[in-house]
Each structure stands twice: as C-alpha cells, then as structure tokens.
Amino acid sequence: MCGSSGSRRTCWTCCPRRMRCCRPATRRRRQSAILFTGCGAIYDRADKRCHMPRHFLEGHGLQMIRRISLATDLSQEGAPAFRAALALAVACKSRLDILHVSSRGEQPAWENFPQVRSTLEAWGLLPPGSRQEDVEPLLGVGITKVTIHGRDPASGIADFVAKHTPDLLVAASHGRAETGWWSGGSVAMEAMRLADLPSLLFGPLARDMADPATGALALRSVLMPVTDTPPPRAALGRLHLLLDPRPLDLHPVHVAASARTEDEVRAVFPEAARLEGEVVPALLQAADRVAPDLIAMPTARHKGLLGALRGSTTEKVLRAAPCAVLALPS
C-alpha cells in the first residue's frame, strides 16, 4: 500500500517511481466506490473527483508556481487576466512579471491599467496608503514591470520567457487574430515549446477567475477534454499541482477517434462523457452544461505549447469559452 495515500492502491506499472509500496494492480473497485486508474489518479465515483497520490506528483518533479509572467497590452480587456495573475501570485507567494507588449514603441500608459497596490488594498490584503516596497515583505510577492518594444513584441516575450523561465504564462485575447499578442509569433511559440510552459488564457467571453471585489480565486471545477494523444497523465498531474493540491471537481470529456482510442481513454477516465459531433461545438456545449471555472487543454509538445494556436482547437475554444483556458503541455 502507498504510505502517501493511506489505504489506497495505485497502478504499479504506471507509477513514475515504481514505488515498492505500490502493489501491481490495474483497475480495482472497492466498497468505498473508489476507482484506481491506470495513470495513478484516484477517481472517486461518489463525488466525481480525481485525487492524485503525493508520490505521483513528486515523481514528475512538479512544483508549485514560483514565477508568473503576465503578457498585456494594458487595455481594459486584459483586466481579468491581470486579476487572475495577481491573485495566483498572492496565493502561491510567487514572483509576478507584468510584461507590457507594444508594436509601436510608445511609452506604456500604466495609469490606464489596474494598479497592483490599489487592487491589493481593495482586496483587503494591504493597508490603505501602502508603499511599493511594502508588497513583498507583507505578502511575499515580488512585482516587476517590464516594457517590451519593437515591431515583433511576441519575440520580446519569447526572449523573456526563455531567459527567466516562469512556471506559468497568463495572457488575454481580444478575439481578433490580428491583435492577439501571439499573432505572427512563430518565434514565441517555439520558445514556449522549448520552455514547456503552461499558459492561462482569457478569451473575449471569459468570466473573471478572481473576484474583482475580494480577489478570491474560483478554481474548483475543471473541464478537461482527453484523448490518447497527447496522453493526459502528465497534464493531469500538472493540473492538480498548478491549481490546488486539494481535490478538484474534474469533469473529463472524451474525444475519441477510434474504438482503440476510446478503450485507452476509458482505462484512465472511466467516467468521461463522450463528445458527439464536431469537437469544438461539443466541448463548448459541455462547458455551458458544466459551467466550469476552467477548461484545461492538454497540448501535444511537437505542435508547440499552444498547439500552433492559429486555427487550432485551443484557439477556437478560447474565442468562445465562457471561462479561462489552461493550455497544458503533455
């Protein structure tokens, strides 16, 4: 038995550390209605939650978020992404880099964008009249503002990401391909592919992840489409550690291309609802039905971190999703 997971068993063949405390087992059903899946996840049929054994997460070398990079053009459309990045930085006591991207070389109008200290004061996390140097000692959050000029701001972001290796990139899309910060960003896509970087993306219809009044994060319900490629195991582990070590309300939906694919997915997510029809409309219908706080999209590494965003499934979902989309590299 796994000491880290009490009386729960896991699948020895899939345990990344081949721990001796894990007995060789495939799927097992017990009176507690807990199912031990082939990826090491513990799926509770009763509350439909997926629990990750601690040694599974450690075996992947996953860590909490230590550094977040927020890419923004300082428009009001980017405010939900700003609030989410700031709230996550406070929750994880991580460094937050606010990257202003501009293709025209003008001076950034920081005064038109939500201010860090005034936002933290409104959330009740800082006393009124706090100074800039008070933020890190009181909250454990280091804030850096970086301005990136040039004809190709995506390249500037790519350079920053490659140099500083944040754990999470946060960005907002206004829904127009020609104004998205990744437009023409083959250099940025390649840099993020090499960095293996999860990205939290806010489309034009996405609601706030952080309460504008209190900063409270809504990160309990997650909708995740799964198929055999990319394999969801690593993405599932990273999802749990990135967002919350406590159980999440995980709603897997199954994208199957063949009977063999369906069998492989069912071995990991036996309760996954199957998507019928075209993938993107079906996934958006599932999002309307489940009303998740987040859509987690596993992405194939060979296609780049965001699956070559232009015209991809991730981008199509992002444009119409009612919540933020988390692109997770496999």
Please determine, for residue 257, whether its predicted confidence score (pLDDT) is greater than 50. yes
Q: How many residues does the chain have?
A: 330
Residue 125 near residue 135 (C-beta atoms within 8 A): no
Handedness of CA 188, 282, 267, 46 (dihedral sign): positive
Q: Once rounded to an integer, what is the mean pLDDT over residues 200-212?
A: 91
Residue 203: the pLDDT is: 86
> What is the rounded average pLDDT of the residues 86-107?
83
Split at pLDDT 50, 70, 90, the class of 215 is: very high
Cβ(85)–Cβ(210) below 8 Å: no
Name the nearest CA neighbour of 102 among 117, 112, 115.
Answer: 112
Domain boundaries, the chain: 3-61+220-292, 67-202
What fold does the segment set 67-202 form as a domain? Rossmann fold (3.40.50)
Per residue in 79-96, pLDDT (tens digit) is: 999 999 999 999 889 999
pTM score above 0.75: no
Q: How far, in Å, CA of 330 to CA of 209, rounded? A: 24
Express each pLDDT in 285-303 by its tens digit. Answer: 999 999 999 999 887 654 4
Overall average pLDDT of the 68-79 stretch: 83
**Residue 123 pLDDT:** 95
Strands 324-329 and 199-202, by their bridges, are antiparallel
pLDDT band at residue 8 using 50, 70 and 90 as cut-offs: very low
Beta bridge partners, 254, equal: 226, 274
Q: CB neighbours of 24 closer than 8 A, spacing ≥ 6?
A: 12, 13
Structure confidence at residue 102 as a pLDDT band (50, 70, 90): low
Residue 28 has a pLDDT of 39
Q: How confident is residue 241, by pLDDT bands cut at 50, 70 and 90?
A: low
Q: What is the mean pLDDT of residues 222-248?
A: 71
Q: Which residue has the higher pLDDT, 300 or 248?
A: 248
Question: What confidence category does residue 235 fall into, taking pLDDT thresholds of 50, 70 and 90?
Answer: low
List phi, psi (to 5°) of 146. -125, 130
What proportion of the chain, given as a percentage, has pLDDT over 70? 57
Q: Note the pLDDT tens digit of each residue in 139-197.
A: 999 999 888 776 666 677 777 888 888 989 888 876 544 444 444 443 334 444 555 67
**Predicted local distance difference test score (pLDDT) of residue 29:** 37
As given in the structure block, the two tokens for residue 173 are 């899309």
The amino acid that residue 86 corresponds to is L
**Does residue 307 register a pLDDT over 50?**
no
